[in-house]
């Protein structure tokens, strides 16, 4: 299998639900009431519960894993630009920008709800030839 090259692009899409948010909170222990308590969150900055930023960022990880080769996530810079509310569909895109040498690549990462950017950033990944798992 090929490895990543500049211009390669992968996309993942998911609808964020209240159940997704609750499962993420249970898995991570992040029980911030901005994510889980309707009444509390309604009085805050966002006018209601929002998804955890890292839950949404997980879709970026999924998009990266869909790039060619065996992808190993080395680093990520993220900017949380807008909230994601239950019921919204997020599309995460990873586009390889530059070959950094030694199998490392710089990747632009963006998550959107419709045309609105909710997370942006860049990642550095290793892209290695895929091993078939047989010995």
What confidence score (pLDDT) does residue 133 get?
A: 60
8 Å CB contact between 69 and 3 = yes
CATH class of the 9-128 domain in this structure: alpha beta
State whether residue 25 is helix, strand or coil: helix
What confidence score (pLDDT) does residue 1 get?
A: 53
Global pTM reads: 0.91
User: Model confidence over 20-77: pLDDT tens digits?
Assistant: 999 999 999 999 999 999 999 999 889 999 999 999 999 999 999 999 999 999 999 9
State both tokens at 22: 């609750």
Q: How far is CA 3 from CA 57, 94, 111, 113, in A?
A: 23, 14, 23, 29
8 Å CB contact between 116 and 79 = no
Give me the residues paired with residue 72 across strands. 126
Strands (E), the chain: 9-15, 70-80, 89-101, 104-113, 116-128
User: Model confidence over 71-113: pLDDT tens digits?
Assistant: 999 999 999 999 999 999 999 999 999 999 999 999 999 999 9
Domain boundaries, the chain: 9-128
What confidence score (pLDDT) does residue 135 get?
A: 46
């Amino acid at each position: 299998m090929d490895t990543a090259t500049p211009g390669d692009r992968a996309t993942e899409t998911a609808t964020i639900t209240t159940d997704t948010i609750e499962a993420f909170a249970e898995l991570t222990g992040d029980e911030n009431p901005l994510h889980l308590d309707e009444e509390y969150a309604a009085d805050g900055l966002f006018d209601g519960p929002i998804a955890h930023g890292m839950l949404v960022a997980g879709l970026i990880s999924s998009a990266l894993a869909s790039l060619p080769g065996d992808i190993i996530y080395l680093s990520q810079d993220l900017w949380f630009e807008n909230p994601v509310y239950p019921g919204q569909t997020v599309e995460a895109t990873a586009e390889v920008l530059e070959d950094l040498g030694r199998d490392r690549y710089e990747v632009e990462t963006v998550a959107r709800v419709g045309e609105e950017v909710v997370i942006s950033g860049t990642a550095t990944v290793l892209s290695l030839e895929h091993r078939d798992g047989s010995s």
